[in-house]
Amino acid sequence: MAEFKRIGVLTGGGDCPGLNAVIRAVVKTAAGNGIEVWGMRNGFGGLVENQLEALAVSSVSGILPRGGTILGTTNRDNPFNYRLHKEDEVVYADLSGQALANLAAKGIEALVVIGGDGTLRIGAEFGQLGLPVIGVPKTIDNDIPGTERTFGFDTAVSVATDALDRLHTTAESHHRVMVLEVMGRYAGWIALHSGLAGGADCILIPEIPYNLAAVNAKITERRANGKLFSIIVVAEGARPLQGKMVGVKAAEGSSESIRLGGIGEKLARDIERLTGVESRCTVLGHLQRGGSPTPFDRVLATRYGVAAVECLLTGQTGCMVALQANRIVTLALADIAGKPGNVPVEGDLVADARAINICFGD
Amino acid sequence: MAEFKRIGVLTGGGDCPGLNAVIRAVVKTAAGNGIEVWGMRNGFGGLVENQLEALAVSSVSGILPRGGTILGTTNRDNPFNYRLHKEDEVVYADLSGQALANLAAKGIEALVVIGGDGTLRIGAEFGQLGLPVIGVPKTIDNDIPGTERTFGFDTAVSVATDALDRLHTTAESHHRVMVLEVMGRYAGWIALHSGLAGGADCILIPEIPYNLAAVNAKITERRANGKLFSIIVVAEGARPLQGKMVGVKAAEGSSESIRLGGIGEKLARDIERLTGVESRCTVLGHLQRGGSPTPFDRVLATRYGVAAVECLLTGQTGCMVALQANRIVTLALADIAGKPGNVPVEGDLVADARAINICFGD
Amino acid sequence: MAEFKRIGVLTGGGDCPGLNAVIRAVVKTAAGNGIEVWGMRNGFGGLVENQLEALAVSSVSGILPRGGTILGTTNRDNPFNYRLHKEDEVVYADLSGQALANLAAKGIEALVVIGGDGTLRIGAEFGQLGLPVIGVPKTIDNDIPGTERTFGFDTAVSVATDALDRLHTTAESHHRVMVLEVMGRYAGWIALHSGLAGGADCILIPEIPYNLAAVNAKITERRANGKLFSIIVVAEGARPLQGKMVGVKAAEGSSESIRLGGIGEKLARDIERLTGVESRCTVLGHLQRGGSPTPFDRVLATRYGVAAVECLLTGQTGCMVALQANRIVTLALADIAGKPGNVPVEGDLVADARAINICFGD
Amino acid sequence: MAEFKRIGVLTGGGDCPGLNAVIRAVVKTAAGNGIEVWGMRNGFGGLVENQLEALAVSSVSGILPRGGTILGTTNRDNPFNYRLHKEDEVVYADLSGQALANLAAKGIEALVVIGGDGTLRIGAEFGQLGLPVIGVPKTIDNDIPGTERTFGFDTAVSVATDALDRLHTTAESHHRVMVLEVMGRYAGWIALHSGLAGGADCILIPEIPYNLAAVNAKITERRANGKLFSIIVVAEGARPLQGKMVGVKAAEGSSESIRLGGIGEKLARDIERLTGVESRCTVLGHLQRGGSPTPFDRVLATRYGVAAVECLLTGQTGCMVALQANRIVTLALADIAGKPGNVPVEGDLVADARAINICFGD
């Protein structure tokens, strides 16, 4: 049994429903074991800048149903390569020593790091410097290998499914094709789950490059069968079989330009042009990241928070908590970092979708 | 007491939550008075094309909570100037006589027309040809004069407010400016109500041209007071004080290009450029039009449907039903058509918003 | 223009969605006019016990979407007849002087009182002692005369309608009668609105004593028409035409016993016994009072809060703010107190419900 | 590869969100394999009474998001012991032969049975008579062994968690104890999950008999720490350590009497009496069973429906589909029937709840 008197917690990367539930569970579980918890403001940046604050049990009262993170977050700062502004110039420096010194000054002996791939990797680096670190995987995209679910994903799927339910009525009333663009730059989990739940006719994901002709054939076949409308869910990172990624500002080549509603709008325009069926696109964007987490995500996030502290108590470090077959397990952080967590193209879920005649554009 | 044996009903214009509730109330009220109801498919187009179907009470069972319209709708067809395809050419013809003949052939003696400005105007024209017509105002934009509320508006405001609640958590967690673009090409009602309900810091509406410097000053002032995030609601038709309307594809000059997320995206980019604060935009789009109506809209739509039939029973025609001080009243269709129903710039609601320090960018 | 430096605000009576929105608007509007706001804890009790706290604009940040009241509330304490515990005995004393002294000691010159009939009446009494008092009507029951809507009502109707939507699927699948008991001890507004919005077949309200035989006839008639299920909404205060009020513990004669699911359960049992159709009851209870207010209620509550402060600024006192034809108006508190705000039995809304064949059991 | 031309499907037992999603997936998957599907009305009763209807793909269009079952259901009829009314008498007879004859007459060669423990057991009996049968487990209680989740459960937990969120604001505003009684006659899964998700202070489940003194001590301890309110979730089947089960009508001894809000009301009364803290109870009842399924349940139900047909295609029969580690697997029906699927008292989830200081009353 390891003994800690004081541990730290931080949230990094994009906003995600359930972050507060993890923080709350960390603080409550620690308190039950006589451990104090300190929070860092705004991810690793706050650790470098020494923005630390004690988190009492009363600090986390009432935050379970709230979206966002009471600690603030950012997806920018890396202490090992820290951006500094020096006389009109941006320079980068390794300030990991500063970060460790800030922890030591407060007597903080271990760190719970809640974040996505980038944040967990930084956590792993601190682990290699001797700091006991536990990772809690966070991504609404569900694309972290080794865990069946990341928290926030169920909420994102709920928002997307609610949107599909709404678009259905308009599609039916107007005999239109309605395209919904959802998150998923590299992995199509949100598109796949919400497409199944929302009764989509086509689901286009990064893992399965699509053929526009196949999509149009699906729409035309439905109309031939008296179904005058169609619903398409497309992950922001989906791409056509031929040619390259498209986006409103694709010329600039930045991934950001694609985030801004590129693929869905293009798809709707192309479908309308080629099939003659009125087509419209909606880009869900940030709505998928915010707001109160679903009960599923609240429970999962709470279990992760409890498990993270229990890892420290049992002397495990350098690991990430994960969900497997309804149980919380631990995986070595080093084994995870940088590996993709894509939708298996030959997997059950894709096969199930095909069985009920959903088209993947291939 | 006028006597009708058979009346017709149609829905025209864009999808709007509550259309089915009106249809249901029309059918049920008519049935209670021994009147048969026939529906036209897809608005006035179906009337010209003779796509009529009898609507029994059983036909409307279960449709109250459903979005969309079981009759289908379109915002294109005008019998007085009907688009026809003749040998590769599009020609326009007055087919209002055909429409009246179709009604006469089925013994349909009067028409309940559910739609927006354009649809109601066509209804009024048929009224001038002697057909008893009752209009039911439909627009999620709430911009029909003479009625305190149009059905569908409350649902649209709910969707927009829910989006603002979600964006709040991301804005707070990331210290960002979040811009939400909502519907309202000419009237800012959705932006104003959802902005008040969702705790927006700035509300930009078509009726009050905005000064970008005033918006930025608001954001900067909030940051000076420790509020690192700001929430902005912008109606799609809002425009800056100087210069003309902007949009991603403004060069094309079509109003459609602006509908596609123009103003919100531009605003977010400009704010980020000028204030240095990370800014993001979400365009709600069609999500505002679809899905199950709120209870408020279901009740209002039901009352409109009842009142429409009762107008016919009491011999009123050429009128529109409207809500005033919790009562359903009637207004002459001719008095309404073409008049704007804008947000009064000096009105109570804008003043109330200003009283709690909401910025309109002026 | 009256000049105040410091005003107080309190919430009294039962929990109601929108209370926080009023408090927020009072504080923000006051701040904009250079006025400080102090809150009393737990209604008039906190005023007597001198539990006052300053409310800065930052104190009300983020509370707009939250249910409940940050000030706490109670429906017990009346300073003019204050319950005291003296040596195992409960005695009552007039401590209104103490209350006024507490205000004076803090320099609080006027009071915004948010509450129902009882709370507003106490406010009026303080007004007669010379304290400038503005009332903000609060009751989810919507039964305050002179205002078209009280805030919280729309939220309660939403919760009840959502429940009816859910019960519909079970009723249909099981061919059952489902009874939903909603709030409304004296007024049937919630039952009437949610019944209209939720597609109820019978609506039973206190204003229209019901005949069980008429209810059963409706159910039987529906089954004869192939509708094997029926939905009934009953206000907790509805009562049969013959005989007296019934409840599980009616023998005790307390109104409380009726609150505890009396009428709905009895109705379900009686219907099943007399018609042979399986019948079930659900009592919504406190779910109607809690949780995030709907956008409608947030806007209305905000407008009330703004108006209350503006009344003080313009020298009006002893009045209540109210909604009439979309505008906020003021009414003399003295004119309101004790008057009922019942559903007009011959009014439009009941007539509309009858027009679509809803049965009131009469 | 087994070859079927025509299969049947039925739903038995209580209403459950997701039933329609299973039916839809069965029909769509079958259609994709050239198999016709016939539905039986109202469970096994319809099979005996020969109420069969063909289900085309168009029959299941639009039912994915709808609660209930388009086939109707009942929790009464058992063909092996069928209730008959003979001259004022109720007699029971084995009509399983009649049921098989009805299937044979229509050429229906196999059966997908969607239901709970009782329904699956009847399915297994038909399997022993040679009929190929696949079971799809259905219970909102999640208490079927061998599967990590039953569909409908996630929806029930969502409804219960939403209720807890609402009760929280009232509890806080009024400094009350709020008790929520949820479903779970034998298993406490709904109480446990919703209690974790809704921030309950005490969770009382059938698997852990509770000591009222421990519950009261928790409430008192919270008040000593300045938390004047408490939230308790109690499963309808929870029972005190000492004494027997209690209910409003416990004297009658029927399990039904307990379902009707017994334990929660009693608990609230006892807590108020013993601690002096105002306490209120809400019984969720049927609201947990109805309404649109969550996306999680829609996906799970769809996968079950697909898997059921695929089992038949691959020649598996006499089995039940189940979820294990994100995959759909099959289990022998005979192994499942009659076994309990209780919350493991020493399991992870209970331990996690204890870690964040939730009290189980033991």
C28 touches chain B (CB under 8 A): yes
pLDDT for the residue numbered D338: 67
Q: Which secondary-structure segment (H or E) carries B42? A: none
* pLDDT score of A247: 40
Interface probe for C, chosen from B140, B189, B296, B313 (most Cβ of C below 10 Å), is B296
Contact at CB, D295 and A157, closer than 8 angstroms: yes
Q: What residues of B are in contact with residue C327 (Cβ under 8 Å)?
A: 348
pLDDT of residue B260: 41
- B169 and A280 within 8 Å at the Cβ level: the answer is no
Least confident of B109-113, B155-159, D121-125, D335-339: D335-339
Rounded-to-integer distance, Cα D155 and Cα D67, Å: 10
Reported as a single tens digit per residue, the pLDDT across C191-202 is 999 999 999 999
In whole angstroms, what is the distance from residue D38 CA to residue B242 CA?
A: 67
Asked if the model's pLDDT at residue C246 lies above 60, the reply is no
Residue-level pLDDT at A338: 67
Using CB atoms within 10 A of its CB, is residue B244 exposed (0-12), middle (13-18) or buried (19+)? exposed
pLDDT of D192 > 80? The answer is yes
Q: For chain B, list the domains and their CATH numbers.
A: 6-151+293-336 (3.40.50.450), 157-290 (3.40.50.460)
Count CA within 13 A, CB hemisphere, residue C298. 27
Picking from C173, C181, C227 by the largest number of D CB atoms within 10 A of its own CB, the best residue to mutate is C173
Closest CA to D361 of D219, D213, D210: D210
Residue C198 · residue C212 · CB < 8 Å: no
Smallest Cβ–Cβ distance between A194 and the set D295, D328, D349 belongs to D295
Residue C160 and residue C152: Cα distance in Å, rounded?
12
Residue C71 to residues B197, B258, C7, C41, C124: CA-CA distances in angstroms? 21, 45, 15, 5, 21
Sequence-distant (≥ 6) Cβ neighbours of residue D42 within 8 angstroms: C175, D51, D71, D72, D73, D74, D77
Residues forming beta bridges with residue C55, ordered by sequence position: C37
d(CA D60, CA C274) in angstroms, rounded, equals 36
Q: What is the mean pLDDT of residues D328-356?
A: 89
Say if residue C60's pLDDT is above 70. Answer: yes
Q: Which of A236-250, B345-359, C48-62 has the lowest mean pLDDT?
A: A236-250
pLDDT for B104: 97
Count CB pairs under 8 A between chains C and D.
Answer: 117
Pair C344, C206: CB distance under 8 Å: no
Q: Indicate the residue of B158, B295, B299 with minimum beta-carbon distance to C295.
A: B158
User: Can you give the pLDDT at residue D1?
Assistant: 61
pLDDT tens sequence across B254-308: 333 334 458 999 999 999 999 999 999 999 999 999 999 999 999 999 999 999 9
Q: Which residues of C touch B197 (CB under 8 A)?
A: 64, 295-296, 298-299, 302
The CA–CA distances, whole Å, from B145 to B40, B136, B141, B222 equal 27, 13, 11, 37
Contact assignment for C286 to D265 by CB distance below 8 Å: no
Q: Look at residues D189, D155, D191 and name the one whose alpha carbon lies nearest to residue D283.
A: D191
A19 φ, ψ (degrees, to nearest 5)? -55, -45
Cβ B173–A260 below 8 Å, yes or no?
no
Q: Which residues from C are below 8 Å from D169, CB to CB? A: 15, 17, 66-68, 290-291
Chains with at least 3 CB pairs less than 8 angstroms from chain B: A, C
Structure token digits, residue D293: 């399924």
Could you count the other beta carbons within 10 Å of the beta carbon of residue C257?
Answer: 17
| CB-facing half-sphere around the CA of B84: CA atoms within 13 A | 13
What's the CA gap between A246 and A253, in Å, rounded? 9
Averaged over D95-118, what is the pLDDT? 96
Which residue, among A174, A170, A278, A226, has the nearest Cα to B73 in the 3D structure? A174
Q: How far is D96 from chain A (nearest CA, A)?
A: 32
Mean pLDDT of all residues in C92-117: 96
3-state secondary structure of B132: coil
Residue D254 or residue C143, greater confidence: C143
Strand partners, B328: B323
Q: Which residues of A touch B164 (CB under 8 A)?
A: none
Residue C66 to residue D165, Cβ atoms within 8 A:
no
Q: How far apart are CA C73 and CA A45, in angstroms?
A: 42
Rounded CA-CA distance B230/B202 in Å is: 8
Neighbours of B7 (CB within 10 A): 23
Backbone angles phi, psi at C54, to 5 degrees: -70, 140
Q: What is the tens place of the pLDDT at every residue in B181-212?
A: 999 999 999 999 999 999 999 999 999 999 99
CB within 8 Å of chain B, chain C residues 255-314: 292, 294-296, 298-299, 302-303, 306-307, 309-310
The DSSP 8-state label assigned to residue A353 in this structure reads H
Q: How far is CA D135 from CA C6, D40, D320, in A?
A: 70, 15, 4
Asked whether the beta carbons of residue C298 and residue B154 sit closer than 8 angstroms, the reply is no
pLDDT for the residue numbered B117: 87
Cα A219 to its chain centre, rounded Å, is: 31
Put simply, the chain A residues between 175 and 194 with a CB less than 8 A from any chain B CB are: 175, 178
Window 51-90 of C: residues touching D by CB (8 A cutoff) are 66-69, 72-74
Give alpha helix (H) positions in A14-132: 19-32, 44-48, 96-106, 117-128
What's the confidence (pLDDT) of residue C128?
93
- Closest Cα in chain D, distance from residue A356 (Å): 5
Which chains, if any, share at least 3 CB pairs under 8 A with chain D?
A, C
CA–CA dist C342, C347 (Å, integer):
11
Tokens coding A177: 């094709």
* Distance from chain centroid for Cα D117: 10
pLDDT > 90? residue D216? yes
The reply to whether residue C355 touches residue B328, judged by beta carbons under 8 angstroms, is: no
Give binding residues of D for substrate as ranges.
Answer: 139-141, 176, 183-185, 236, 280, 286-289
Report the alpha-carbon distance of residue D234 to residue D181 in Å, rounded.
Answer: 5
On the question of pLDDT at B246 being above 60, the answer is no
How far C322 CA lies from chain D's nearest CA (Å)? 24
pLDDT of residue B1: 61
Q: State the best of B42, B69, B138, B170 to mutate against chain A, taking most chain A CBs within 10 Å.
A: B170
**Joined tokens for residue D47:** 């099979």
Hey, are the CB atoms on B348 and C194 less than 8 Å from each other?
A: no
Say whether B349 and C303 touch across the interface (CB within 8 A). yes
Which residues of C are the active-site residues? Answer: 141
Q: Please tell me the distance from the alpha carbon of residue A225 to that of residue A353, in angstroms, as a whole number.
A: 20
Q: What does the H/E/C string look like for chain C?
A: CCCCCEEEEEECCCCCCCHHHHHHHHHHHHHHCCCEEEEECCCHHHHHCCCEEEECHHHHCCCCCCCCCCCCCCCCCCHHHEEEEECCEEEEECCHHHHHHHHHHHCCCEEEEEECHHHHHHHHHHHHCCCCEEEEEECCCCCCCCCCCCECHHHHHHHHHHHHHHHHHHHHHHCCEEEEEECCCCCCHHHHHHHHHCCCCEEECCCCCECHHHHHHHHHHHHHCCCCCEEEEEECCCCECCCCCCCCCHHHCCHHHHHCCHHHHHHHHHHHHHHCCCEEEEECHHHHCCCCCCHHHHHHHHHHHHHHHHHHHCCCCCEEEEEECCEEEEEEHHHHCCCCCCCCCCCHHHHHHHHCCCECCC
Q: Which residue has 């919400």 as its token pair?
A: A194
> Chain A: residue nearest B14 by CA?
A174
Average pLDDT score over residue span C163-182: 96
The CA-based angle B353-B355-B357, given to 5 degrees, is 75
Q: In D, which residues are within 8 Å of C261 by CB distance?
A: 261, 283
Nearest to B352 among C148, C196, C302 (CB): C302
Are A333 and A319 spatial neighbours (Cβ–Cβ below 8 Å)?
A: yes
Instruction: Show the tokens assigned to D136.
Output: 């799809």
HSE toward the beta carbon, residue B112, CA cutoff 13 A: 32
Assess A166–B contact: CB distance below 8 Å, yes or no. yes
What are the chain A neighbours of B159 within 8 Å (beta carbons)? Answer: 166
Confidence of residue D30 (pLDDT cuts 50, 70, 90): very high
Rounded percentage of chain C residues whose pLDDT exceeds 90? 84
Which pair of tokens denotes residue A311?
Answer: 């890892």
Distance (Å, whole) CA C41 – CA C47: 7
Angle formed by the axes of helices A189-197 and A153-174, to 10°? 50
Which residue in the list A15, A88, A94, A141 is annotated as catalytic? A141
Do D113 and D10 form a contact (C-beta atoms < 8 A)? yes
> Please, what is the average pLDDT of chain C?
92
pLDDT at A18: 97
Strand order in the sheet with A279-283: A202-204, A230-235, A177-182, A279-283
Question: Which residues does residue A322 pair with via DSSP β-bridges, in sequence order?
Answer: A329
Report, as ranges of residue numbers, the positions in chain A whose pLDDT lies below 70. Answer: 1, 243-261, 337-338
What SS3 state is found at B92? Answer: strand
The residues of B assigned a catalytic role are 141
Residue B335 pLDDT exceeds 80: no
User: Is the CB of D148 inside 8 Å of chain A's CB atoms?
Assistant: yes
CB contact under 8 A, D290 and C166: yes
Q: Do A299 and D327 touch (CB under 8 A)?
A: no
Q: Which of D15, D165, D172, D173 to mutate to test the interface with C (most CBs of C within 10 A)?
A: D173
Beta carbons of A357 and D28 less than 8 Å apart: yes
CB contact, 8 Å: B166 with chain A? Answer: yes
Nearest residue, CB atoms, A356 vs list D306, D324, D349 = D306
- Do D50 and D11 form a contact (C-beta atoms < 8 A)? no
pLDDT at B167 over 70: yes
Of residues B341 and C75, which shows the higher confidence score?
B341
Higher pLDDT, B89 or A244: B89
A287 is in an annotated binding site: yes
Per the structure block, which two tokens stand in for A125?
Answer: 């680096």
* Residue in D73, D248, D282 closest to C286 by CB: D282
CA dist., res. D288 & res. C312, Å (int):
47
The better pLDDT of the pair A17, B144 is held by A17
